Every structure is written in C-alpha cells, then in structure tokens.
Amino acid sequence: MPDKRKASMAPSYSKRPRISYEDEEDQASSVTPYEKPVNHPLYGQKNAFPGLDDGGDELCYGDADDGLEYLRMVRSEASALPSLFSAKTSKEDHDSKCSATTTIAQTKPPSFPPGFFDKEEAYVAPVEHNETTVATSQELYPEAQSAYYNLLRHRFKLLRSTLKCSPPAAVIAALDHAHPISLPRRVEAARKEWRRLVMTVDPQMAQLACMDMDSVFGVLQIMARMMSDVLRSGDAEKIRRIGAWAWGLLGKCREIGELSTAEVGDIRDLGKRAAKILQKIREADDTMQMEDEELPDSETGEEELAQEEVPAETDEPEDQTTQTELENGNDADMADVVDEAAELEAAKARLQAKMQDSGDSEVDADDDSVSKQTRAMLDMVIMVVGEFYGQRDLLDSREVWTISL
C-alpha cells in the first residue's frame, strides 16, 4: 500500500526545452533580399510587392511572363518619365485668365460688416440704416407728418436708452402689487391678472426696466390680442393706456439683431394687427362719407314732393276763404292771446334746440378725440415696428395726413 501511494504521488516532470535565438538569426539571414520590401528613396512609401526593386534602373522590354514581370515593366517605363509635367501656356490664354480674374474681382460682393456670433454660432450682422429709403419715404408725407415721425424716432431712442439703465433700489422697492415685473407663462391666473392690469393700470418706467425679456413678450402677446376689443369699446382712457403699454414694451425689447425668430414674429404680429385695424377704420370712414353724400339728394327730393303737395291742400273755394276771414276778424282779441302763447312756445323750443345742439357738439367732439387718439396710437405702433424692428412692408399701411387750411 505505501509503495502504491508513493508511486502515484511522484510527479512526472517533462524538461522544458531552452529557447535559442540562434535559430531565428539563422532563419533571418537565410531570407533573401528578394523577399524584403524596400522603402522608396524619394517618397518613403513601402512597396507592396517585395522583389520589384531588385532590377535596379534596367529597363524591361518584351512580353511579361507573370504578374511581377508586368509590374517591373510598368515601373521601368514610369521611371523614364519626369516626375512633374508642365504644359506650355500661350500669351492669349494668359491675357484671358488675367481678364477673367479682374472681372471676378470687380464683381465680388462686398464683405460682411463687422457683427457678432450668437449662442448657436450663427453670424448676426449689425443693423444698417438705409438713408435713401428713409428719405424717399419721407417725401410721400407732408412736412408736418415727417417732423412728427422724426420726433417720434428720437423719443423712442431715448426711451430705449432709459430702460436699459437699472433703476434705483428705492424706486424698485416702491413698486406695489399693481405693478408686477414678471409673468409666468404657464400660470393661467397670472395671465388673467395681467389682462386686468393692462386695462386698468398705467405702466411705470421702473416696472418696465425690471422686466425680463420672457415676461415682456408674454405681456406683448396679451396686449396684442386685447387691442381690437379695447379700440372697439371707444373708451378714451383705455385706448390711451394700451397705447402706453405698447410704447413701453416695444422700447424694452432688444434690437432686431439680438432677437430670435419667435420674438420677431410676436412683434410683427402686433404691427399686423394695428395695420388691419387701421384699414378697417378707413373703410368705415369711407362708407360714412358716401352715405353723407347721398343724404342731401334724398332730402331735396322729399322737399320737392312736399312743395308739390302744398298747392293741392290749399286749393279751397272762395266762399270758405271769406268765411274764415270773417271769423278771424270777429276773434281778434283771442288771436292776440294765442300769438303771445305761440311766441313763448317758440322761444322755449329755440332754447331747447340750442341746449341739444351744444350737447350734440360735445358728443361729436368726444368722438372726434377718440378717433384721433386711436389713429395716433395705431400709427405709432406701425412706425415703431416697421422702422426699428425690420418690418418695413407694414409702413405702407400708415395714413397720409390731410391738412385743411
């Protein structure tokens, strides 16, 4: 038993052969240079097929028996050619190339003006003021209207520079709950509150200066949707207030080169609404003017018919006329009393008519004032949106003043 255990536990080790590097050196020396790839002396590229360079500079002629012979023949032919070819150019070709280069240089568009790159790495060019277009558009308007637009431009630039400044801390702390400085767009209660504030509260400079751009465009959208209803109401106070909000919010907006596409779309929507409302007002005025021109013709026709009917009613027999005169002669005293009463009634009627005319004139004056205020507010919105925010196509919808001497 012990003998078996010893025999089974005895390990059988096989001797590991020693590594000899002499065999590899002998094998490497036995490889012929025909099989080693050689680097090109000029380009440094290693040949894909070893053995093609052992021919040297000898040229190969005749048919190739195998692929390597064909490659050697092609390489030998290529070695006889120069490494760089240059074609001869005539004088006419040189002149034509020079003229073409000169033409391209002359017709090359001007380089972009210095601008800046936004967050999306898009180049934004600065705003270029086209003086020729402004001068041409000013010629279409009377001198007084052009002076008004010029003053409005200066006022708007002053408003912009003022709203860019930070108001004092004491002024900011004095803002009450009726003058908030933010609008959470996803909160419906906040939107309803802003609708009420735009109708009932005037904006303040400190309030507008503290508002962020997201809130500015949110209130601008609310005001644009409410504009039509406010103007239709005919309330002069509401029209003045919504005009003040439009003026302040547009002045708080950034310049056209710093706005996104959606923000420019909101401003353009406000200008389009103003132009559409102004167009409807003009159409209503034209309709009323046409009706006023047709009224005198109808009134004169009714008067002619009345004059034709009067003789038919006054044609009476002579006997009846005589009898009437006798009765009037007998009642002379009663006629005097009746005349005095008639005079009193006539004086009373004239006094009432004067009072009614004065009341009507006041109502007409109020209506005229509301109409002028509405037109001025819409004209202001169109001018600011068109000239300061690049929507110049809306400027054609402005009215041309008619000055009555």
Residue 310: partners with Cβ closer than 8 Å, 6 or more residues away = none
Q: Does 101 fall in a domain?
A: no
Q: Does 86 fall in a domain?
A: no
Token duo for residue 118: 């936004």
Q: Does 204 fall in a domain?
A: yes
pLDDT of 37:
67
Place of tokens 């036995």: 30
pLDDT of 314:
45
Across-strand partners of 39?
A: 46
Q: Does 181 fall in a domain?
A: yes
Task: Work out how many domains the chain is built from and give that number.
Answer: 1
Token duo for residue 284: 């209503």
pLDDT of 108:
47
Neighbour count for residue 347 (Cβ, 10 Å): 10
Tell me, rounded to whole angstroms, the distance of Cα 170 from its chain centroid.
Answer: 36
Q: What is the CATH number of the domain that holds 180?
A: 1.20.58.1070
Per the structure, the complete domain to which residue 208 belongs is given by 142-298+369-405
Give buried/exposed letters for 104-115 (b at 16+ CB in 10 A, else e): eeeeeeeeeeee
pLDDT of 162:
93
Mean pLDDT by 10 residues, the chain (405 residues): 54 60 52 60 71 58 66 77 70 56 47 55 57 52 86 93 91 90 88 91 92 93 90 87 93 90 92 91 82 62 52 48 51 57 72 64 62 88 92 87 62
Q: Does 18 fall in a domain?
A: no
Residue 351 and residue 214 in contact, taking contact as beta carbons nearer than 8 Å: no
Cα–Cα dist 309/304, whole Å: 9
pLDDT of 134:
45
Q: Does 132 fall in a domain?
A: no
pLDDT of 9:
57
Q: Does 87 fall in a domain?
A: no
Cα–Cα dist 25/32, whole Å: 13
pLDDT of 150:
92
Q: Does 114 fall in a domain?
A: no
pTM above 0.85, yes or no: no
Residue 208 and residue 251 in contact, taking contact as beta carbons nearer than 8 Å: yes
